[in-house]
Amino acid sequence: MRSRKSGVGILGMGVCLPEKVLTNFDIEKMVDTSDDWIVTRTGIRERRLVRVDQATSDLALPAAKGALGQAGVSAEEVDLIIVATTTPDMLFPSTACLIQRDLGATKAGAFDLSAACAGFVYALNLAYATIASGQYKYVLVIGADALSKMMDWTDRSTCVLFGDGAGAALLGPVPGGRGVIATHVGSDGRYAKQLMMPAGGSRLPSSHETVDKKLHTVKMNGNEVFKMAVRIMVDATRVVVQKAGLNLSDIDCVVPHQANLRIIQAAIERLGIPPEKFMLNLERYGNMSAASTVVALYEAVEERKIQSGSKVALVSFGSGLAWASCVMVW
Ligand SMILES: CC(C)(COP(=O)(O)OP(=O)(O)OC[C@H]1O[C@@H](n2cnc3c(N)ncnc32)[C@H](O)[C@@H]1OP(=O)(O)O)[C@@H](O)C(=O)NCCC(=O)NCCS
């Protein structure tokens, strides 16, 4: 059992971003849009795309290796692997099992978690609970998506928003007073149809008709999702900071899901937290779904926006609708 005095936190992180860059100017040549429209409405300038022969696990594996390397923990010591993804390599087996195999994490359990863009923070909160309860010591949490493979590249209202990437964090014991201090998750399935990929599951299995109707691509009601996203970002931040016994002014860095700069700006206004405390990188990557928050967290540490002792809030939302937030002391 873990000593009651120790905490549970992130021991190491890794990321993997595809080499191919797709700029707004490239997209101008594909659909009726402009760099100006995309930047003004979303804040995104470019995003990364996997190659045709790459899948989500090809991004997740190097990110996982990076996290283990930074933590100085071997794959054989990992107890559990959770891959948060909406774009698994295939419906089954889980992408987590492929990662378990390729890492040689011989004693680890492994499963995928489906909470779309909120997936990494969902998985992190779950990993925290399994370690805090004394069940496990080391849990590898990966947020990885290759949404470019599920895009309708003729639909300008969605194809400009997303990009591919992966990030991983190894959770384990940390000194007391450090690590996760509060978690929060929520969902509202009444909004399920606002952001979905209709076909490919048991409701609408693949058929010529589903392919012809492009039902294997992302469908979204952008306006509805936008309004809900702002509300969720604000509420999920407030709730988790309160659970942590802190005030919003105590938070040193907020790492939000990177969907749209205007969503984040609206949340900043409503929360009254200074904008410079928010980590932003969506300009370079777009919305990388489950990878978004973890890559932003990694870069916030690299850029020293987060330092030892910083109080950090992660907040994410996505299709479901589903959302998750957490507060940790770095
Ligand atoms: C998608 C989104 C950027 C659209 O921005 P918006 O300001 O709401 O724009 P609207 O949907 O009101 O569309 C305004 C016009 O721009 C057009 N438009 C949409 N995408 C466009 C594009 N890429 N380029 C140019 N015009 C575009 C629309 O067709 C519409 O034209 P119309 O007025 O002639 O009908 C915005 O709603 C959004 O970001 N929503 C949240 C999406 C999200 O975060 N999803 C992931 C959640 S995890």
Q: What is the pLDDT of residues 8-43, one digit of tens each?
A: 999 999 999 999 999 999 999 999 999 999 999 999
CA–CA dist 192, 328 (Å, integer): 30
Q: What is residue 4's predicted lDDT score, i.e. its pLDDT?
A: 53
Those residues with Cβ within 8 angstroms of residue 327's Cβ, 6 or more apart along the chain or in another chain: 180, 181, 182, 240, 241, 243, 244, 246, 251, 311, 312, 313, 314
Summarize the confidence of residues 66-80 as an average pLDDT.
98
Domains of the chain: 7-176 (3.40.47.10), 181-329 (3.40.47.10)
CB 318 less than 6 A from any atom of ligand 1: yes
CB 238 less than 6 A from any atom of ligand 1: no
Dihedral through CA 37, CA 41, CA 45, CA 48, nearest 10?
-110
Closest CA to 112 of 138, 78, 146, 89: 89
Residues annotated as catalytic are 117, 257, 287
The string of pLDDT tens digits covering residues 146-157 is 999 999 999 999
* Atom 31 of ligand 1: nearest residue by CA position: 157
- Tokens 């910083």 found at: 310
The proportion of the chain whose per-residue pLDDT surpasses 90, expressed as a percent, equals 98
Ligand 1 mutation pick, 31, 40, 193, 223, max ligand atoms within 8 A of CB: 223
Centroid of ligand 1 to alpha carbon of 259 (angstroms)? 12
* Atom 19 of ligand 1: nearest residue by CA position: 157
Report whether pLDDT(5) > 80.
no
Report whether pLDDT(3) > 70.
no
Summarize the confidence of residues 253-280 as an average pLDDT.
97
Sign of CA dihedral 143, 283, 321, 275: positive
Q: What is residue 1's predicted lDDT score, i.e. its pLDDT?
A: 43
Q: Which atom of ligand 1 is closest in space to residue 259's alpha carbon?
A: 44
DSSP SS3 for 149: helix
Summarize the confidence of residues 101-108 as an average pLDDT.
98
The proportion of the chain whose per-residue pLDDT surpasses 70, expressed as a percent, equals 99
CB 287 less than 6 A from any atom of ligand 1: yes
Summarize the confidence of residues 174-181 as an average pLDDT.
95
CB 156 less than 6 A from any atom of ligand 1: yes
Report whether pLDDT(226) > 50.
yes
CB 225 less than 6 A from any atom of ligand 1: yes
CB 93 less than 6 A from any atom of ligand 1: no
Report whether pLDDT(316) > 80.
yes
Closest CA to 324 of 257, 247, 278: 257
Report whether pLDDT(172) > 90.
yes
Centroid of ligand 1 to alpha carbon of 50 (angstroms)? 24
Summarize the confidence of residues 223-236 as an average pLDDT.
96
Report whether pLDDT(2) > 90.
no
